[in-house]
Amino acid sequence: MAYFITETCNGCTSCARLCPAGAIQGEKKNRHVIDLGLCIECGACGRICPQSALQDPTGRAVQSVKKQFWAKPVFNHKTCMACGICINACPAGCLKPGEPSRKDKNAYPELADPGACLSCGFCADECPVEAVTLEAPPEAMAKAG
Amino acid sequence: MIKNKGYMGKILVVDLTSGEIREETLPDAVYEKHLGGLGLAAHILYARIPAGADPLGPDNMLAFVPGLLTGTGSLFTGRWMVAGKSPLTGGWGDANCGGTFAPEIKRCGYDGIFIKGISEKPVYLYVDDHTRELRDASTVWGLDTVEAEEYLETHAKEKGKKPKVVCIGPAGEKLSLISGISTDKGRMAARSGLGAVMGSKRLKAVVLSGQKRIGAHDRNEMKRLSRMCNKWVQFQPPFVTGPMTAFVGALLRVMPTVLTQDGMLYKILLKKWGTVSMNQMSPEMGDSPIKNWKGSSRDWGFRKSYSTNPDVFKNCEIVKFHCYSCPLGCGGICTMDDKYTHTHKPEYETVLSLGGFCMNQDVKGIFYLNELLNRAGMDTISAGHAVAFALECYEEGIITRKDTDGLDLTWGNAEAIVALVEKMVKREGFGHVLADGVKQAALRIGKGAEAFAVLAGGQEPAMHDSRNDPGFALHYSVEPTPGRHTLGSHLYYEMYQLWKVVKGIPKIPPMYLKGSKYKNPEKQAAIGAANSRFMTLVNCTGACLFASFLGAKRFPLFDWMNAANGWQLTPNDYMDLAGDIHTIKQSFNVKHGIEPKDCKISDRALGRPLQTEGANKGRSIDIEAMMTHYWEQFGWDGRTGKPSPETMKRLDGGV
Ligand code: SF4
Ligand code: SF4
Ligand code: SF4
């Protein structure tokens, strides 16, 4: 199973530039294709595509979302075990262990590079204790009203 | 594509001689039979390393394997193993390590990376989703493990997430038979001397950066089990101070009866301090060998061990270190004001082997040596043994200042110990004599020095006194990897509480007489066999020994295996599979000419002669009877320890 690019694609290359697995190939201004063996189903292509040319693995069309509204992980340090599963799950490498505090020497995860986050939700999906939730950035939401 | 199984279904096979790198797809049957991790490595290496292969030659094959459960949503399952023919023992070799490397093997799409051949020039293997290549390693050859890792992390890949690195240091490059493989800048797969195998192949490092997703049959069930397990991990009553652990140890020593240990106590200690929590407790209760196995708890009392009390380490810890998927985090990064500014918190094994084992109270020196050995890529347990062995030879007059490059090797001479280890790491002068471990040192020194060598099948045993726990004596002597403390003991068995889920194995009553452990070799052997099987499962799944201390009900290993792969096996089915995997490792040894009965640990560690004072006064172990019964538990010949010809044939023809 993988994402699929329909013929609405106009070859703008945004998806290919974003795909963390390097699974998308295609010439500029030509329809792109996704390599089934490489696609990790993060859905970033669908969110970024201005043409809404992507279908998810179940065949449903994916709506594009403005990048400033993409949901990002928020960590609940009360339930988090500092196990690092989310850090390893992130295909964009944008999570890092944070600084320990004086009282608690654990390095809890934090979103170190928000610009690189793909909003894929893998971090939340793999966390065994549900300490990660994906939330739209409040500033962007406030601005948009 | 994401599999609905916990394994990836493929391995990567690399031939350094020809430069060929190829993927192999394995049938499901292989995983159903050999599970993954250690089991998968045993299956492949048994078949592919030819009998009589030179451990440092092109025919030896090195396997890097994560566990069957790594990355599936289970906890404590982020450990990886390296396996191959050991140049130290000549038989099956493996070493286990934590850190964050294990899931990366799977993210690259593999359940194992198998490397044979010898490269002409130093190389490193780089793998990501698009690239699989051997690259020139001339810029990193000669660098220590920390420098090499830092360099490769930033230079092997230009953008995206940082790659994960395992590498050898100068010790491995110089083929030290006690060298290991390092990751996360100082976590070591140290035992069996496999660093030298990597060095002989001129393979400096393996660098991985994968993005594949790791599957699981029922991820919600995986997580449900994880949350149950985590509840026990997070239960943490406050526990007084570090030195108070010594009194717990002393209490355990003087009591004639023992309350069967519940691993929760150890969990609490590990979570608070890490393994250094045992620094004072173990010597007090008689669990630590002192002075090259010659001394006793009397020689290393509370005052002597005080300088290495657990709080000393806790106080300089700046951040806790968790292996991947570990909710406990027994590791840590400590500051030090020395040539190096940071080091991984030394482990109990390191502190004791360079401390009490050499009568050395200099904690600052131990911090330094820990970092020095990690950077060199040398096993701290074996290095400590080599030093203590030299100290005793010096005391006995077998070697003198003339042999030691002027070092005054008296017990506890901290300065001389530091200088000696520095020489070992560089293979300089007298350091060269010790750089390949105790067995080679005894041969090089001669003049009857071997009388002071405590070994099991060529491997230096660990810092757990077999006279205090006959289970250690057994596992040191009978395992296909002799001399290991991580495979079983009576104490471990009490904590695993396996009898609560596995049928037909001995149950330990809530309280028993200490002396009873030394009797009934048949029962002790049955306990040992169950330990070996269970630890095989732990090592197949990528799990952590410390997690299994929580007990089989709180650490749901069997249920996780079923949920990850959609299997419906009972704990007893898994224990049977583990028995077969254990047999493959033993057959590997037989195939390579090892006589199992020669792997028995040295007399001193068995209470021959008896100790006259201390915690283990008068304790001796009837090891021969235990070994026979243990072997019979697996259907091996009770006299020789060799699997029967029929068993060997079945394995040769097996999947
Ligand atoms: S949603 Fe989580 S896993 Fe995905 S890119 Fe963002 S931080 Fe990484
Ligand atoms: S996976 Fe969950 S528990 Fe583990 S570090 Fe991330 S947020 Fe914390
Ligand atoms: S308990 Fe310690 S060794 Fe085990 S997985 Fe956790 S951090 Fe690693």
The closest-lying atom of ligand 1 relative to the alpha carbon of residue A111 is 7
Residue contact A92–B234, C-beta within 8 A: no
Residue A73 in contact with ligand 1 by CB distance below 6 A: yes
Residue B263 in contact with ligand 3 by CB distance below 6 A: no
- pLDDT above 90: percentage of residues in chain B: 91
CA distance B434 to B426: 11
Task: Point out the ligand nearest to the CA of residue B71.
Answer: 2
Strand partners, B63: B83, B114
Predicted complex ipTM: 0.94
CA distance A129 to A124: 9
What one-character DSSP code corresponds to residue B84? E
How many residues comprise chain B? 655
Task: Please give the single-letter amino acid code of residue B420.
Answer: L
Residue minimizing CA distance to atom 7 of ligand 1: A117
- Contacts with A36 from chain B: Cβ below 8 Å: 1
Confidence grade of residue B652 (pLDDT, cut at 50, 70, 90): low
Judged against a pLDDT cut of 60, whether residue B654 lies above it is answered with no
Closest chain A C-alpha to B459 CA, distance in angstroms: 33
Find, in chain A, the residue whose alpha carbon is nearest to that of B3.
A1
CA distance B59 to B51: 10
CB pairs under 8 A between A and B: 89
Question: B139 is written with which tokens?
Answer: 């810029």
The closest-lying atom of ligand 2 relative to the alpha carbon of residue B325 is 4
CA distance B343 to B365: 12
Closest chain B C-alpha to A38 CA, distance in angstroms: 7
Task: Point out the ligand nearest to the CA of residue A128.
Answer: 2
Confidence grade of residue B655 (pLDDT, cut at 50, 70, 90): very low
Q: Which of B73, B74, B230 sits opposite A81 (nearest CB)?
A: B230
CA distance B125 to B117: 13
First-to-last alpha carbon distance for chain A, in angstroms, is 37
- Contacts with B73 from chain A: Cβ below 8 Å: 85, 126, 128
**For position B1, what pLDDT does the model report?**
59
B481-503 pLDDT, tens digit each: 999 999 999 999 999 999 999 99
Low-confidence ranges of chain A (pLDDT < 50): none
Residue B323 in contact with ligand 3 by CB distance below 6 A: yes
Best A17, A83, A101, A130 member to test B by mutation, with max B CBs in 10 Å, is A83
The HSE-up count of residue A129 (CA atoms within 13 Å, CB side) is 24
Confidence grade of residue B120 (pLDDT, cut at 50, 70, 90): very high
B5-46 pLDDT, tens digit each: 999 999 999 999 999 999 999 999 999 999 999 999 999 999
Given a contact cutoff of 8 angstroms between Cβ atoms, the answer to whether B561 and B574 are in contact is yes
Query: Mean pLDDT over residues B366-376, rounded?
Result: 97
Residue contact A84–B160, C-beta within 8 A: no
CA distance B202 to B123: 6
Query: Mean pLDDT over residues B148-168, rounded?
Result: 94
Q: Which of A38, A40, A106 sits opposite B329 (nearest CB)?
A: A106
Residue B258: how many CB atoms within 10 A of its CB?
18
Instruction: Return the closest-CA partner of residue B621 out of B517, B533, B480, B485.
Output: B517
Task: Please give the single-letter amino acid code of residue B144.
Answer: D
B160-200 pLDDT, tens digit each: 889 999 999 999 999 999 999 999 999 999 999 999 999 99
A115 touches chain B (CB under 8 A): no
Residue minimizing CA distance to atom 8 of ligand 1: A90
Residue contact B318–A84, C-beta within 8 A: no
Given a contact cutoff of 8 angstroms between Cβ atoms, the answer to whether B293 and B604 are in contact is yes
Contacts of B284 (CB under 8 A, 6+ apart): B246, B247, B248, B249, B250, B252, B253, B297, B301, B302, B305, B615
CA distance B459 to B438: 8
Residue B101 in contact with ligand 3 by CB distance below 6 A: no
Confidence grade of residue B253 (pLDDT, cut at 50, 70, 90): confident
Question: B118 is written with which tokens?
Answer: 């010898």
Name the strand (E) or helix (H) holding A72.
strand A72-75
What one-character DSSP code corresponds to residue B331? E
Question: In angstroms, what is the span from residue B98 Cα to ligand 3's centroid?
Answer: 7
Question: In angstroms, what is the span from residue A46 Cα to ligand 3's centroid?
Answer: 39
A38 touches chain B (CB under 8 A): yes
* B613-628 CB burial, b ≥16 within 10 A, e <16: ebbbeebbbebeebbb
B497 touches chain A (CB under 8 A): no
Query: Mean pLDDT over residues B531-557, rounded?
Result: 97
B74-108 pLDDT, tens digit each: 999 999 999 999 999 999 999 999 999 999 999 99
Judged against a pLDDT cut of 80, whether residue B426 lies above it is answered with yes
The rounded mean pLDDT for chain B is 95
A138 backbone dihedrals φ, ψ, rounded to 5°: -60, -35
Residue contact A82–B329, C-beta within 8 A: yes
Judged against a pLDDT cut of 60, whether residue B608 lies above it is answered with yes
B321-364 pLDDT, tens digit each: 999 999 999 999 999 888 899 999 999 999 999 999 999 999 99
The closest-lying atom of ligand 1 relative to the alpha carbon of residue A89 is 3
Residue minimizing CA distance to atom 2 of ligand 3: B330
A90 touches chain B (CB under 8 A): yes
**For position B646, what pLDDT does the model report?**
80
- Cα angle, residue B409 at apex, residues B406 and B413 outer, rounded to 5°: 115
Judged against a pLDDT cut of 70, whether residue B57 lies above it is answered with yes
Q: What is the pTM of this model?
A: 0.96
